[in-house]
Amino acid sequence: MLALKADRTIKRYPDMFTGRTLAQVGAALGLIFGLGIFTVSTVQGVVRSRNAESFARHYAEVAKKNKLPDLMWLGVPPGSRSSVSPEEVFQKLTANKKQDTAVYEMKTAPLRNLKTRLDSSPDQEMHFVRLEKEADDGLTSIALALFELHGPPTKEFPKPEEHALVIFKGTTEGGKGYEWWVDDVTYPYKPQTASLPEKPVDDGHGHGPGGH
């Protein structure tokens, strides 16, 4: 912008100002670098979205075909999954139930109910619909994935169609591209009613609320 302004000023007052060529070069370089940054950001956004969509389809497949511990295991960050099995994750969560039933219910009830519906009959299905919202703070990516569950109504699940929202988090650490895990599940869910999680408030010293 400054280069373009300088070019216009030099053109209007050629006897007072010189350096128009330099101003034009500056304007061209600014445009090139500006477009370059925009292009890189756009490409990164497309890659992130496609990776999140791929993980969402995998999640739906696991939800339909696998057991509850396998779904809970996808809530473990990728870097830690190799050191813990789905059964160990399930056992740990179950053990926490004895210590704090309220927290256990809050964290696992939506997922358990979702899995119960899918297991209620072979005709129950779960499909990824779309990503409702996305965000990236430079370190961690967040994607809100919308799923549709449908099948024959049952006494416990009388609605033939319901939705679920699954919050994914992902990183690109280790140079392996985006790796995702499940941060939270809402079921049942009304589409377009969720908001992105708020970022922790920094007190200026690298601490969030209550930090030391």
Tokens standing for 42?
Answer: 């756009």
Q: Which pLDDT band holds residue 117 (cuts at 50, 70, 90)?
A: very high
Q: Which pLDDT band holds residue 67 (cuts at 50, 70, 90)?
A: very high
49-186: which CATH architecture? Roll (3.10)
pLDDT score of 4: 44
Q: Is the pLDDT of residue 2 over 50?
A: no
Q: How far apart are CA 57 and CA 52, in angstroms?
A: 9
Q: Is the pLDDT of residue 47 over 80?
A: yes
Q: Is the pLDDT of residue 123 over 90?
A: yes
pLDDT score of 25: 55
Q: Is the pLDDT of residue 29 over 80?
A: no
Report which DSSP code applies to 164. Answer: E
Q: Which pLDDT band holds residue 40 (cuts at 50, 70, 90)?
A: low
Domain ranges across the chain: 49-186
Q: Is the pLDDT of residue 13 over 60?
A: no
pLDDT, tens digit (0-9, with 9 covering 90-100), for 149-203 = 999 999 999 999 999 999 999 998 766 788 999 999 999 999 999 998 776 554 4
Residue by residue, what is the 3-state secondary structure of 111-144?
HHHHHHHHHCCCCCEEEEEEEEEEEECCCCEEEE
| DSSP code string of 89-111 | HHHHHHHHHHH-HHHHHHHHHHH
Q: Which pLDDT band holds residue 209 (cuts at 50, 70, 90)?
A: very low
Closest CA to 142 of 177, 114, 167: 167
Of residues 123 and 21, more confidently modeled: 123
Least reliable range by pLDDT among 8-12, 99-103, 117-121, 161-165: 8-12
What's the average model confidence in pLDDT over 21-30? Answer: 57
Q: Are the CB atoms for 117 and 149 separated by under 8 Å?
A: yes
Closest CA to 180 of 73, 30, 106, 74: 74
